[in-house]
Structure 1
Amino acid sequence: MFDAEQQEEAEGADAMSTKSMKERIIEDWNWRSREYTGRSDMYLQTERQQRLWKETLTGLLPARGEERLDVLDVGTGPGFLALQFASMGHTVTGLDLSPSMLEIAAEKAAVLELPCSFIEGDAESLPFPDHSFDVVANRHLLWTLPNPGRAIREWVRVLKPGGRVLVMDGDWTNKQLTYKQKMRIFMGHSLTFFTKGKIPWKGKGRGYDDLAHMLPFSGVDPGKVIALMEAAGLNGVREHDVQHLLDADAESFPLAYRWSFIDSHRRFIVAGNKTGSI
């Protein structure tokens, strides 16, 4: 069981180890940025996927009518969430440690003519004053962080009272999987190798495989996220269903990628609110 008393244990390594770990993380995401972007784009390749993502995000935002919201996309990567929020008419800032990811996100925003701001920065130490944003969101970020509890406290700090934190992540390890699910991943990887001659997201001795034992959330579940969000002071924290998004992905993903990334990994969205006044 994961509760608030375990928060410091989830903070990861000491400062020096964390620094070197983040250097490795930046190197890895710079290296895999183009390949990752190709996979990320697959989640928005059909009209149904695009519609469902916008409907889902709209339903998760603070209820403020037609008001334009200030949104921070932490760990924006190629701008998946940032561009979605911007297309909905909100003011968006995307932040990431990886210069290569930020370059891709800016390229996408320019092509789509969407006014997003992208800056280099650390999700665990944000360069913004208190109460700066109505929404702090991230997708597939929390599992990569050495200090997830510290990061969530930072997100709450920059959030305006009445604002929301949205965490979208999953369990990307094989620890909680059934034998059938593990076999699907194996077949997905094998089919990818036979059709492409390699597994694009693995290679060159890089990747998170050798960092997993040092990352508290390399296999994250929503219960851990809820506990840390509540410990950081958020209220009304709960998990939201994403099965409709998975169903849409299953219709459009090639078989190899469906086995590797959809059928065999649990994904979720957790949202929580900040109360109080400035």
Structure 2
Amino acid sequence: MQTLNLRSNHDLRDEIKAYWSIRAETFDSQPGHEIFSEDERAAWHALLRRHLDEGAGHAALDLACGTAVVSHLLDDLGYRVTGMDWAEPMLERARAKAKARGRSIRFLMGDAENTMEPDGAYDVIINRHLVWTLVDPLAAFKEWHRLLKPGGKLLVIDGDFVNPTLVAKIASKISALLARVGGRNARPQNGPGAALAETHRSILSRVYFSDGARAEAVADLLKAAGFSSVVIDTDMSTIHRTQRKNFDFLKGLERAAQHRYAICASK
């Protein structure tokens, strides 16, 4: 078990909040964040239906909702959705998106590790690409367990973004080589993009899952937090296939080869 320095954790959490506040401006322009086709939307719906009951007005909480991409997927399936994020720029875009679609999604500013929501308030809790950023995942998982009604379900969608597979390594190296041959840099060397990339690397090196958020490690912590019927689903192939048209071949290959997963757990 990793030991945590409380003072540095407080500083790190502030950095994480600031980072996502800046990222809000371009978040929806990036494949893998926003949904760019109806085929991709259908693939996400299929994943949710594979693990969750039909919405039927049940209460769902989308933690670290960002610009509300997943909130709208839940809304499509009939859930009564609350989206929570601690970055106000993300929430501004989330509210605007819901208004444009004419959807009644409730949005709250809040901390996913300490939501301040009442006990047993939700039938479903979901989050996408949140767990790898957590400072104290066990405490967060206990908080989510508290928020669920008996029989409620948690769905975590995340991945290990630290340890690339061999295929991902090869694809990344070929992509960088082609970029150099073509006279361009694979990654920005200076400017705002480079600063954000460096901030991302710095944050990733200091969070709890700095060695990579492997599905089995996340599942073990969910069980320690009181969850049962913990199921790991690594079949994200349909989603990756529908996203591929938005990436070049090598980037699509690299992404599909990553250790990405959904974990469903019950209270």
Question: Normalised by the shorter chain, which TM-score bucket?
Answer: 0.7 to 0.9
Q: Which of 216, 228, 235 is residue 208 of structure 2 equivalent to?
A: 216
1:127 alignment partner AA: M
Tell me by how many angstroms 1:238 deviates: 0.9
Q: 1:80 to 1:186 in 2, by over 3 A?
A: farther
SS of the residue aligned with 1:209? Answer: helix
- Aligned position for 2:21: 30
Equivalences for residues 180-195 of structure 1 within 5 A: 180-188=167-175, 191=179, 194=184
2:12 is the counterpart of 1:21: yes
Query: Is contact 1:71–1:93 with CA below 8 Å preserved after alignment?
Result: yes
Query: Is contact 2:118–2:147 with CA below 8 Å preserved after alignment?
Result: yes
What count of residue pairs does the alignment treat as equivalent? 260
- Could you list the runs of 5+ residues in structure 1 that have no partner in the other structure? 1-5
- Aligned position for 1:258: 252
- Aligned position for 1:177: 165
- Aligned position for 2:242: 248
Q: 1:87 to 1:182 in 2, by over 3 A?
A: same
Tell me by how many angstroms 1:271 deviates: 0.3
- Aligned position for 2:120: 131
CA shift digits 1:16-62 (9 cap, x unpaired): 22211111111111112222321156652112111111122122113
Q: Which of 239, 244, 255 is residue 232 of structure 2 equivalent to?
A: 239
Query: Is contact 1:43–1:249 with CA below 8 Å preserved after alignment?
Result: no
2:105 alignment partner AA: C
SS of the residue aligned with 1:38? Answer: coil
Query: Is contact 1:185–1:264 with CA below 8 Å preserved after alignment?
Result: no
Q: 1:228 to 1:35 in 2, by over 3 A?
A: same
Q: Identity of counterpart residues, as a percentage?
A: 26
Q: Equivalents in 2 of 1:30, 1:89: separation in Å? A: 29
Query: Is contact 1:124–1:154 with CA below 8 Å preserved after alignment?
Result: yes
Query: Is contact 1:182–1:264 with CA below 8 Å preserved after alignment?
Result: no
Per the normalisation by structure 1, the TM-score is: 0.84
Per the normalisation by structure 2, the TM-score is: 0.87
2:127 alignment partner AA: N
Tell me by how many angstroms 1:257 deviates: 4.3
Q: 1:154 to 1:98 in 2, by over 3 A?
A: same
- Aligned position for 2:51: 60
- Could you list the runs of 5+ residues in structure 2 that have no partner in the other structure? none
CA shift digits 1:35-93 (9 cap, x unpaired): 2321156652112111111122122113xx66311000011111111111112221111
